[in-house]
Amino acid sequence: MKLPTRLSTEPLVEVICETRFDAASDSAVNLLPGILHEALGPFEHQHRLISLPPQMLAVDAAFAVQPQIRLSQKNLAIQIGARTVSVLYQPPYPGWSDFSAYVQRVFDVVCKQSFITGFNWLSLKYIDLLQIGASPRISWLNAENSLGGRRLDAEPQSMRVEYVEPPWTTVTQIVCPAQRVDSQEDGLLVDVDVIYRRPFDDFRNQYRDVLRELHQRNKAQFFSLLTDETLAKLGPEY
């Protein structure tokens, strides 16, 4: 199946590329903001999202991948936690070539740091909001949801499906209805997150190939969800 290169009606809300790693204590939170400012800045804003003392990392590993610092410049941002760095873009989306090039600039800086001892995760998430009609409904997608024998369509609902093909995991979430932060117009939210879960032997020389595969898998999953009618309304260009 030939996939579109772009959509004239852009449904994108946000795209997020994240890597996770092993590092000494909270060195990433303390050092990476300054290092990234020097290498890629200046950034317009830097603020703390949450403050987590190092002892909390020993209590629950989930705290280690919680973003604590956010660097932002126009519609892009870098988020940093004790064991994670992510790059985010919001509309207007520059396209995959520009986005992936910036991700590589960030990750090339991160992987040079001596306090990082290894990388074990790379993921790519696209969050889209389909607004192609007055009343969002599941039937805009190649998907069905039912309860007690009754098929649900325009009723408020959400679903989450996870496919695991080691080392790849594809998580798809659908929410109906949903809204953008800056709009009152309802839409159908489609969140596709593709994750590579495996320790890297040589992150610096391996992650680009994994990143390309993440993009292909994410794109294929998203377009497989769209009905022909929905795709036509989004204005596919090939």
Rounded to an integer, what distance in angstroms lies between the CA atom of residue 235 and that of residue 238? Answer: 10
pLDDT < 70 positions in the chain: none
Buried b (16+ CB within 10 A) or exposed e, 196-228: beeebeebeeebeebbeebbebbbebbbebbee
Confidence (pLDDT) at 3:
94
Quote the pLDDT of residue 53. 81
pLDDT at residue 160 in the model = 97
The pLDDT assigned to 56 comes to: 79
Per-residue model confidence as pLDDT tens digits over 205-221: 999 999 999 999 999 99
Residue pointed to by tokens 């040079």 = 112
Backbone angles phi, psi at 159, to 5 degrees: -145, 155
Token reading at 211 = 């990143």
CA 180 to chain centre: 16
CB 175 within 8 A of CB 189: yes
Crossing angle (nearest 10°) for helices 96-110 and 27-40: 120
Q: What is the pLDDT of residues 97-116, one digit of tens each?
A: 999 999 999 999 999 999 99
Alpha-carbon span 194 to 69, nearest angstrom? 24
pLDDT for res 1: 74
Residue 199: predicted pLDDT: 97
pLDDT the model gives residue 60: 83
